[in-house]
Amino acid sequence: MAEAIDLSFRYMTPSDVAAMVTYLKSVPAVKSENVPDRLADTASPLHSSGPTGNPMGKRIFEGACASCHSWTGKGQYAQKHN
């Protein structure tokens, strides 16, 4: 995702963003039984220690997600603007 932001999305003009919003709003919603009724609560920063027994998920999140989304999942933007 960082590559998409750094090499692509950050160069979008306001008209590019408007076109993307228009397109996304035009795509009809698809009902899925796998979507929860509400979003999960923000994770505790203590989750950065990872579960015992299977560290693979922690390694993947740490390598691909945590630098932007932080260990709580709130992300850098939310932390800077809350």
Is residue 32 in a domain?
no
- The three-state DSSP-derived secondary structure of 10-64 is HHCCHHHHHHHHHHHHHCCCCCCCCCCCCCCCCCCHHHHHCCCCCCHHHHHHHHH
Is residue 62 in a domain?
yes
d(CA 64, CA 66): 7
Total domains, the chain: 1
d(CA 8, CA 34): 31
Is residue 22 in a domain?
no
Q: What is the per-residue pLDDT for 38? A: 75
Domain that holds residue 63: 1-6+57-82
Is residue 44 in a domain?
no
- Between 9-13, 27-31, 69-73, the lowest mean confidence (pLDDT) is in 69-73
**Model pLDDT for residues 37-67, shown as the tens digit of each residue:** 777 666 666 666 655 656 777 788 888 888 8
Is residue 73 in a domain?
yes
The answer, as to whether pTM is greater than 0.75, is no
